[in-house]
Chains A and B, each alone.
Chain A
Amino acid sequence: MSERAKLSLLSFLLLLILGCLAFTAVRALQAVHNFQQQYSGVKAGDVSTMRPWMTVHVISHVYHVPENYLYHSLTINNPAQLRHATLYLIANSKRQTIDQVIRTAQDAVLAYRKQHPTLVTPALIQHRDRDSLLPILGRTTY
């Protein structure tokens, strides 16, 4: 291969890599944005942050709703067997789509919060005191 051809090949590869660099930089920015969005959503107790990998135990821990309440809402009769089952597995066992199961769990969390409106996390109380915002649904303690 002549020197000129080598130089052209090297320049072409460098251009290709610079393209990749720009692509990965955009991807990294998007990942930062996604992370920030999800993180703030979870911290605010937003039920739209519920994911298929979550188990009933995890949902109970993250959204501060008693496990038994969730089992009842999801019509799970044998909680001991499905204690470690993800929502994905629950959906499979109930022959429902994952979206349906997530929606049921989200509704259960919101219903529980409606039933217990006084149970609000200290973080949200501080936030409201500082910024004098209207009461919003957030993470609850039980």
Chain B
Amino acid sequence: MNAFFLDILQQYGYPALWLIIFVAAAGAPIPVSLLLFASGAFSALGDFNIFILFPVVLSASVMGDSLGYLLGRRLGAVLLAWLERRKRFRWITLPALAQSQAYFKKGGGWAIFMTRVLFSALGGTINLVAGLEQYPYRSFLLWDVLGEALGAIIPLSLGYAFAETWEEAAGLFGAFSGLILALLAAIVFSFLLVKKIRQRRLASTVTAEVSDTPQVLESQTEYDTSDSLLIPQKRP
């Protein structure tokens, strides 16, 4: 498949590159990162101009992302409303949707940015989710342009710098991206595990303390169980 895209890239130049990146940004599973490395390399070898490549890549990816966002916003909202009406899934309720929208509004910017720079495979999905969650388009565009600019500069410049060995440079970049992702996941999960263990220890300590204290309290207080609240009363 890569050979097919590289052939098209060599044969039809900038328009082909624009179209491929646009389609990929809209959600099609195409190895764009590899194509960007190749384009950078071809520009170093005299087939493309790196200063034309950058705006071509940026405009195509931003327009493709916007299409994905629009699809999510128009179709996703209708789909969710339908699912909520039909009660197809128990967890799709109006409060749950409002909660997820609020959550995405809070951390969506970073999610959009990171999926342009490091985890590009998730980019199409995040576009749809951003539209679905009614994330403000202006904020989406801002994070998208920033992320796509950085996401284009890195592979283009690496491809340009290591022109003859761009395939291996792309492999290296991909391997280190995976390593960083795994490292981040390991840090997050270690943190969660430590937190859970501490909570468990704390809970067991509190339980032990509580099991000790009632013996003292029982001698001094008596509980009125007639009311829903347990009100301690002094013994006469």
How many chain B residues touch A (Cβ–Cβ < 8 Å)? 37
14 chain-A/chain-B pairs, Cβ below 8 angstroms: A3-B200, A10-B196, A13-B189, A31-B172, A31-B174, A31-B175, A31-B176, A39-B162, A51-B167, A61-B46, A84-B11, A84-B47, A86-B6, A89-B10
Q: A11-B193, A14-B189, A35-B165 are in contact. Are A24 and B175 (CB under 8 A)?
A: yes
- From DSSP, what is the main secondary structure of chain A's interface residues? helix
- The reply on A136 being an interface residue by CB < 8 A is no
Task: Mark A residues whose CB is within 8 Å of B.
Answer: 3, 6-7, 10-11, 13-14, 17-18, 20-21, 23-25, 27-28, 30-32, 34-35, 38-39, 42, 49, 51-53, 55, 57-58, 61-62, 84-86, 88-89
A contact residues around B169 at 8 Å (CB): 35
Which residue from chain B places its CB closest to the CB of A22 in the assembled complex? B182
- For the complex of A and B, list the 3 residue pairs with the smallest distance between their C-beta atoms, beginning with the closest: A31-B175, A35-B168, A28-B175
- From DSSP, what is the main secondary structure of chain B's interface residues? helix
The 8 Å CB contact of A14, one of B6, B46, B162, B193, is B193
Shortest distance from the beta carbon of A63 to any chain B beta carbon, whole Å: 10
Determine the distance from Cα of A122 to Cα of B192 in the docked complex, in whole angstroms: 57
- The reply on B197 being an interface residue by CB < 8 A is yes
